[in-house]
């Protein structure tokens, strides 16, 4: 049997990025699907990945008017996978006769193939999912300020995945501004922020996210309660070559993340410079955030 082929895939690399699934097996499985089935199979992954990246970008809304305000953290975002993200409506492909539509597992669905019987004892197999209950992502994050009540946030990861894939690159930036100087009587801290991120793996995966938020927080002793509302978008383009014995097909998916509006509730705990926070984001795709870092 062959080793891993150079061609193909994958959104699955995002699963690798998340540390969940092995590349070659996922690559082989996804090669079964081309366009619409591939979209349906991978859509929940795009939803979870986009929602994850748009999370954990803030842990309070207090921004100094001026002077050094530095926060460095490792932020983990975990998207729990709901039952309705585990199946999609799939139709047989690749000349299978007769054409048949069934409910098949998504990439997060049950780890059991679904068989559809055709003529003369033939069968079409819809690939199993990976029975994944949640998708975690971890990123380093630096926030630096403040200038006129404004703070910048940066995320950056670059990993060389070798010649088959090219570099994995995550770059994110954000800017937020305190509203309190304009409304000095406010009993809570209030800020607005805008964040953009790009995620690329060679020429195969190109993802973009953006988030516009209003953030608030209230600090009592070592505890900070925070929250916010946000409007977000994410999209994920996947392009890869799939080689059969008689042709090389170029397969591309353009997946839009399902999330648009989100509500965030969180709490932070501070011991000197050490800070731990956790929040939960309610949206079409919910996300749990846990961050640990140092703030000066």
Partner 1 sequence: MTKRIGIVISLLAILSTSCEKRLFSFVADIDQIQTYQIDQTGAFEIGRVVSRSDVLAILDIPQDAYVTDVKIQTIAVSVTIKEGNQASHVKLTATVNDLLSGKEQVFRDYPVPLTGKLGIANPWSPVTLLLDRGINKVKNKIAGYVKNNDPFDYELILEGDSDPVSQRVVADIRLKIVATVEYDACIEVFSVFSGGKECPDAKNALGP
Least Å from the CB of residue 178 to partner 1: 26
- Choose which of 9, 29, 172, 279 interacts with partner 1 (CB under 8 A): 29
Q: Which stretch binds partner 1 (CB under 8 A): 35-43, 89-97, 185-193, 197-205?
A: 89-97
- Helix ranges (H only) for the chain are 12-17, 23-30, 36-53
End-to-end, the C-alpha distance of the chain in Å comes to: 56
- Which H, E and C letters describe 235-271, residue by residue? EEEEEEEEECCCCEEEEEEEEECCCCEEEEEEEEEEE
Secondary structure, 3-state, 54-77: CCCCCCCCCCCCEEEEEEEEEEEE
| Contacting residue, 68, 183, 220, 245, with partner 1 by CB under 8 A | 245
d(CA 80, CA 260): 17
Stretch that binds partner 1, among 35-43, 61-69, 110-118, 212-220 (CB under 8 A): 110-118
Pick from 125, 154, 261, 294 the residue near partner 1 by CB under 8 A: 125
Least distance between partner 1 and beta carbon 26 (Å): 8
Does residue 248 interact with partner 1 by CB under 8 A?
A: no
Among 35, 66, 89, 94, binds partner 1 (CB under 8 A): 94
125 close to 112: Cβ distance less than 8 angstroms:
no
* Three-state SS at 120: helix
| 17 binds partner 1 per the rule CB under 8 A | no
Residue 81 per-residue DSSP state = P
Examine residue 278 and tell whether it contacts partner 1 (CB under 8 A).
Answer: yes
| Smallest distance, partner 1 to C-beta of residue 80, A | 11
CA dihedral angle for residue 169, residue 63, residue 283, residue 235, rounded to 10 degrees: -30
- Using CB under 8 A, pick the residue from 58, 130, 240, 253 that binds partner 1: 130
Binding partner 1 (rule: CB under 8 A), the pick from 6, 35, 66, 97 is: 97
Q: Which residues contact 199 (CB under 8 A, 6 or more apart)?
A: 14, 49, 53, 169, 170, 205, 206, 207, 208, 209
Pick one of 6, 19, 148, 282: the residue that binds partner 1 (CB under 8 A). Answer: 19
131 makes contact with partner 1 (CB under 8 A)? yes
Binding site residues, partner 1, CB under 8 A:
1-5, 19-22, 24-25, 28-29, 31-32, 76, 78, 94-98, 111-113, 115, 118-125, 127-128, 130-134, 136, 244-246, 267, 269, 276, 278, 290, 292
């Amino acid at each position: 049997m062959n080793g891993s082929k150079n061609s193909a895939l994958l959104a699955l690399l995002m699963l690798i990025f998340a540390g969940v699934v092995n590349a070659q097996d996922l690559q082989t499985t996804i090669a079964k699907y081309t366009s619409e089935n591939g979209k349906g199979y991978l859509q929940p992954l795009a939803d979870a990945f986009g929602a994850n990246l748009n999370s954990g970008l803030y842990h309070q809304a207090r921004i100094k008017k001026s002077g050094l305000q530095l926060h460095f953290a490792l932020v983990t975002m975990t998207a729990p996978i709901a039952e309705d993200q585990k199946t999609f409506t799939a139709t047989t492909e690749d000349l299978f006769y007769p054409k048949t539509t069934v409910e098949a597992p998504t990439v997060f669905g049950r780890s059991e193939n679904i068989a559809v019987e055709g003529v003369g004892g033939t069968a079409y197999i819809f690939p199993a999912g990976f029975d994944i209950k949640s998708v975690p992502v971890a990123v380093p994050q630096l926030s630096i300020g403040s200038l006129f009540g404004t703070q910048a946030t940066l995320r950056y990861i670059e990993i060389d995945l070798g010649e088959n894939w090219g570099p994995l690159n995550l770059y994110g930036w954000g800017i937020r501004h305190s509203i309190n100087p304009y409304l000095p009587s406010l009993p809570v801290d209030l800020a607005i922020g805008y964040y953009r991120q790009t995620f690329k793996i060679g020429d195969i995966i190109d993802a973009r996210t953006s988030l516009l938020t209003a953030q608030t927080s209230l600090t009592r002793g070592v505890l900070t309660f925070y929250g916010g509302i946000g409007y977000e978008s994410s999209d994920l383009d996947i392009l890869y070559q799939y080689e059969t014995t008689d042709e090389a097909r170029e397969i591309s998916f353009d997946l839009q993340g399902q999330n648009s509006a989100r509500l965030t509730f969180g709490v932070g705990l501070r011991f000197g410079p050490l800070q731990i926070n956790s929040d939960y984001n309610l949206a079409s795709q919910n996300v749990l955030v846990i961050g640990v870092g140092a703030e000066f």
